Amino acid sequence: MSEKIALVTGGNKGIGFETARQLARTGVHVIIGSRDRKKGVEASLKLQGEGLAVEALAIDVNSQASIAEAAREVEKKHGHLDILINNAGVLIDAQDKKPSEQTLDTWRKTFDTNVFGLVATTQAFLPLLKKSSAGRIVNLSSILGSNTLHADPASPIYDFKVPAYNVSKAAVNAWTVQLAYELKDSKIKVNAAHPGHVKTDMGGEAAPMEIVDGAKTSVQLALIGDNGPNGAYVHLGDTLPW
């Protein structure tokens, strides 16, 4: 129980991969969760080549059976979990679709991964987190989930309306608040992280932030102490408006 164990979903690439690297550099044993086990193994081998303690785990957050099997595997091997970073997410059909024009199929696929998959994964691993002396749950959100900023014509995101994605992240924020309340008297802290607009497959090459910086908020929230926030919406230490 002396070694911290972390699971990063969607950890085989992008922000998730860099989050795994930065956590492992602090001495945390990191489990890289990926839908494709081969890609997870390749990512793990790369970080192992850097001398870091990581391993691969197959987990498809859209499959209840896959989530359950992943939780059983972690319990069998480690017996507990200290950090869960719900990083897996999708951005579908973002090209010039008005809010009223985005298809229900896009809404369903987006929510299946970004919301329902995140909730299902959290529920499955919560019993293992409760065995930790200081459990941490980090839900990857986005500034695009801020209703306050979307309603403000002066905000930097006012004109960036990608409805299914944006609303899914607002739902992630709401779920964070609900779960944080449930666990407020426990040793587990639950927070939502905005990584920033980062140069990833999702963020695009024109994004202003590098991946190394995009991982920092998740890592910071994963390693907060007993006096750290619970039920917060954070970017690099700054609190964002809901």
Take residue 131 and report the two structure tokens written for it.
């065995």
Q: Is 165 a catalytic residue?
A: yes
CA distance 139 to 96: 27
Q: Is 233 a catalytic residue?
A: no
DSSP string, the chain: --S-EEEETTTTSHHHHHHHHHHHHTT-EEEEEESSHHHHHHHHHHHHTTT--EEEEE--TT-HHHHHHHHHHHHHHHS--SEEEE--------SS--TTTS-HHHHHHHHIIIIIIHHHHHHHHHHHHTTSSS-EEEEE--GGG-HHHHT-TTSTTTT---HHHHHHHHHHHHHHHHHHHHTTTSS-EEEEE---SBSSTTT-TT-SB-HHHHTHHHHHHHT--TTS-SS-EEETTEEPP-
Ordered strands of the 54-58 beta sheet: 54-58, 29-34, 5-8, 83-86, 136-140, 189-193, 233-235, 238-239
* Residue in 38, 77, 169, 216 annotated catalytic: 169
* Residue in 4, 39, 97, 165 annotated catalytic: 165
Which positions are annotated as active-site residues?
Answer: 165, 169
